[in-house]
Amino acid sequence: MKRTGPIKVLIVDDSPLVRSILTSVLSEEQDIVVVGGAKDPYEAREMIIEFRPDVIILDIEMPRMDGLTFLKKLVVHYPVPVIMCSGMAPANSRAALQAIEDGAVDVVAKPNRGGTAGLRRLGGDLAEKIHAAAIAMPAPPPIPQSATTASASFRAAGLDPRRYLIAIGASTGGTEAIKNLLSCVPADWPPVTIVQHMPEGFTDSFARRLDEFSPLRVTEAVDGDVLVPGRAFLARGGVQMRVRVRGGQWRIAYGSDELVNRHCPSVDVLFDSAAETMGKQLVGILLTGMGADGAKGLLRMREAGAVTIGQDRKSCVVYGMPKVAAEIGAVQHTGAPAEIPRIILQALRHHAAAKPAGSKA
């Protein structure tokens, strides 16, 4: 989806310093114009009427009206992409995830330290998210619960969950896509590893949120975690996560904090390690998101014999990462998140049935 003209951005934050620095940094982007900065939702309302922004940056904690309350009003009266700007306290991270469920397209974390330099780095991160938000499509309506249950358990399908690993990558729109996917799996699912582009300090709250909806036990991954069926492991923000074999077991391994494809954690880092470690015992899934992180890794998975799946265009908030993967030949199957568990079962059963008699699954 292509745009014409600059992206008009409104910043709503009660801190004059935050508004000033973010305006300065974002104004360096040729295709972004900051049309105003409001100290609270009441002031923002007047600026929305005057400037009709394309994207709104919204603080969570503000006087007179908090960001969550204002977001709910925006969804009804001015449905425009909203990026939540939140402090990193646990309560704020939970509120930010609630905001995404309420209609925000993404979240950024205000730095706890670093002063002006930290805010300038935040502005650089925001620029990328603004570009994604400007082309974001509304999230599809939730599928009724009766339609989101996997048709059979993994073992009932004649498959051994101990023999497989599922690796998932996502960015913008991914929090809801992952939730919808993990809500539809049976409890005897193979181990799942997940990279969701998300700020450091937010992934623990996100894992806890996923755990409420999924039959799997979902946790923020810890270095050395053993990958066992019935568990899902979410990469911690700010560090690269890989899959490694230690002591004859598949385990989580954390590494550096370097950026790969401008992200830490990076989907490609996880996918590459899984392809090297698992090969044909692997399922790779690339969900909604801006850019190309994960596309090459998914291709390496397919070349190693893995089953590869990309989220379909109509269910993506941003059809970027899975689109690039499809264009380079990395994707074998496509579907909406709630359909993917069924696709996995069918693909692996077909894979097992195609093996010569006496061979291993």
Is residue 255 within 8 A of residue 235, CB to CB? The reply is: no
Dist CA 134 CA 126 (whole Å): 12
Identify the CA nearest to 289 among candidates 260, 253, 316, 252. 316
Is residue 123 within 8 A of residue 85, CB to CB? The reply is: no
Long-range contacts, 89-95 (Cβ 8 Å, 24+): 90/204, 90/205, 92/60, 92/61, 93/201, 93/202, 93/204, 93/205, 93/206, 94/205, 94/209, 95/60, 95/67, 95/68
Q: Residues with Cβ < 8 Å from 2, sequence gap 6 or more?
A: none
Element of type H or E holding 164: none
* Residues β-bridged to residue 27: none
Q: Which of 183, 293, 312, 315 is catalytic?
A: 293
User: Both tokens of residue 49?
Assistant: 């009427």
Q: Which of 197, 263, 268, 272 is catalytic?
A: 197
Q: Annotated catalytic, 171?
A: yes
Q: Annotated catalytic, 188?
A: no
- What is the number of other CB atoms lying within 10 angstroms of the CB of residue 54? 20
Q: Which of 86, 93, 171, 315 is catalytic?
A: 171
Residues classed as catalytic = 171, 197, 293
